[in-house]
Chain A
Amino acid sequence: MDQNIQTLNACKIPTDDVLFIALELGEHILRSGGEITRAEDTITRICRAYGATHVDVTAIFSMIALTVDFNETRSTCTRRLKSSTSTNLNRLAKLNELSRAICAELPQKDEVVEKMRKISSASSTKISLYILGNILAAFGFAAFFSDLKNGFSGEVVLGIAADAMLAGLIALPLCLILLWLDKIQTSPLVSKFAVCFLGGVAALLIERIIPICHADIIMIGNIMNVIPGVAMTNAFRDLFGGEIMSGLFRLCSVIIDAIVIAAGYAVAILIFGGVA
């Protein structure tokens, strides 16, 4: 206890700044795709490093609530989070490094803000890489899942290669459209629906023109790019890990996403009168 007070006095940081630093790190971890427990853990460690005697934090999908005791004075604050998250594992790794450094060096607020700004600009995903990733993922998973449909035998290999390449080819305009819709701030559900519908139409048209192709394989390759697979896994992890609130939030958003994606492809399939 005495030692803690000394640390706080030694680095002379106002309580508000400590709360700000901890919440800033927590928010960015959540928004880069980190788990709830990781964010809570980081906030607790940082507050304790700055000399808090008691830390109680809870985070859900769109909010962090934090209560900290410094020298018998209790501060409570909440922070509202933007619910949109984009998984950025490089940023997550860098934030993790930063939180270790903060605990070891106890820097001032301005220093942390400057470092956070550097991390944000250094770890943003380049558009060229985003497009490349989409194409590779669609190509790989179209081939991956065609095994489920008909196995890999000699005569279908040509069809599979064609399917995978076309899936990759369609992924290019689809991810450009998604980026554009994102830029003009269309609601995420609407853009997902639009992209899935267009993907379905493109795949079914290709099947009509090139009969050796399978529209369903091409669609599955492109579904993988929008499917909330990571979110679904995280939802179950939260639920089983005791984070019922955020687990339920995530699960609901996953189900809604899945319905919208399915609806996009379903409308395309209904228009074309089924998959061959």
Chain B
Amino acid sequence: MNEIIRISIVLAAGLIGSIGFSVLFNVAKKHFIFALISAAISCLAFEVAVLLGLGLFLSSVIGAGLAAAYSDIMAHKIKTPATVMIIIGMIPLVPGARLYYTMLGIVQDDMAMFSKNGESALLIAAGIAVGIIVITAISRPLNAKLSEINSKKQKNKG
């Protein structure tokens, strides 16, 4: 029960931050809600995966992958680049605090803090990239195939 409350607070805070970045990156009003849903998906999936003990790398792969899959699907429906939603979706996964503690480790000569946080930051960053790339690798040929089928259908109709 405590975990549910904790995750909802984290999610709410992450969403406020993502709203901030959506404003900062000038997301159009009509795309705002779709971008925020992408952020909510990545944030929630990451927290749940960490809670299930999947580790930081796998959790960020899952978080980024699910948000990227959502973005790719929505991109077709609302006819806008998937990047708009992917960028906002990745914001709550960016390991800002871990990078800060890595720096603090160097400044305070605390090698344990430095290596622990530096490692997690790199794992998460690589995990985000892998998550997006896996989805892109699946969706690109799929999209090409779909548009091929669509154009054939149109030709047949014509």
Residue of B nearest to A241 (CB): B133
Interface flag for B10 (CB, 8 Å): yes
Task: Determine if A269 and B104 form an interchain contact, defined as CB atoms under 8 angstroms apart.
Answer: yes
Residue of A nearest to B100 (CB): A220
In the bound complex, what is the Cα–Cα distance between A43 and B87 (angstroms)?
22
Q: How many residues of B contact A (CB 8 A)?
A: 53
Interface flag for B55 (CB, 8 Å): no
B80 CB, min distance to chain A CBs, angstroms: 5
In the bound complex, what is the Cα–Cα distance between A130 and B136 (angstroms)?
31
B116 CB, min distance to chain A CBs, angstroms: 12
Chain B residues whose CB sits within 8 angstroms of the CB of A71 once the complex forms: none
A229 CB contact (under 8 Å) in B26, B91, B104? B91
A143 CB, min distance to chain B CBs, angstroms: 4
Chain A stretch 214-241: residues in CB contact (< 8 A) with chain B: 216, 219-220, 223-225, 227, 229-230, 232-233, 236-237, 239-241
Task: Determine if B31 and A93 form an interchain contact, defined as CB atoms under 8 angstroms apart.
Answer: yes
Chain B residues whose CB sits within 8 angstroms of the CB of A269 once the complex forms: 104, 107-108
Interface flag for B15 (CB, 8 Å): yes
Task: Determine if A262 and B9 form an interchain contact, defined as CB atoms under 8 angstroms apart.
Answer: no
Chain A residues whose CB sits within 8 angstroms of the CB of B101 once the complex forms: 216
Interface flag for B99 (CB, 8 Å): yes
Given contacts A141-B17, A223-B100, contact A270 B23 (CB under 8 A): no
For the residues of A in contact with B, the DSSP-based class is: helix
Residue of B nearest to A125 (CB): B26
Q: Total A-B pairs in contact (CB under 8 Å)?
A: 174
Interface flag for A148 (CB, 8 Å): yes
Interface flag for A193 (CB, 8 Å): no
Interface flag for A265 (CB, 8 Å): yes
Q: How many residues of A contact B (CB 8 A)?
A: 62
Interface flag for B112 (CB, 8 Å): no
Task: Determine if B104 and A144 form an interchain contact, defined as CB atoms under 8 angstroms apart.
Answer: no
A223 CB contact (under 8 Å) in B13, B90, B96, B133? B96
For the residues of B in contact with A, the DSSP-based class is: helix
Interface flag for A90 (CB, 8 Å): yes
B42 CB, min distance to chain A CBs, angstroms: 11
Task: Determine if B97 and A148 form an interchain contact, defined as CB atoms under 8 angstroms apart.
Answer: yes
Interface flag for B58 (CB, 8 Å): no
Interface flag for A123 (CB, 8 Å): yes
Task: Determine if B90 and A133 form an interchain contact, defined as CB atoms under 8 angstroms apart.
Answer: no
Task: Determine if A270 and B20 form an interchain contact, defined as CB atoms under 8 angstroms apart.
Answer: no
20 pairs, A vs B, C-beta closer than 8 Å: A33-B87, A90-B26, A129-B26, A130-B24, A133-B22, A133-B23, A136-B19, A137-B24, A138-B20, A140-B14, A144-B17, A144-B92, A147-B10, A152-B5, A152-B9, A233-B132, A236-B129, A237-B129, A266-B103, A275-B108
Chain B residues whose CB sits within 8 angstroms of the CB of A274 once the complex forms: 108
B17 CB contact (under 8 Å) in A93, A136, A258? A136
Given contacts A152-B9, A223-B99, contact A140 B18 (CB under 8 A): yes
Chain A residues whose CB sits within 8 angstroms of the CB of B96 once the complex forms: 141, 145, 220, 223-224, 227, 229
Task: Determine if B130 and A240 form an interchain contact, defined as CB atoms under 8 angstroms apart.
Answer: yes
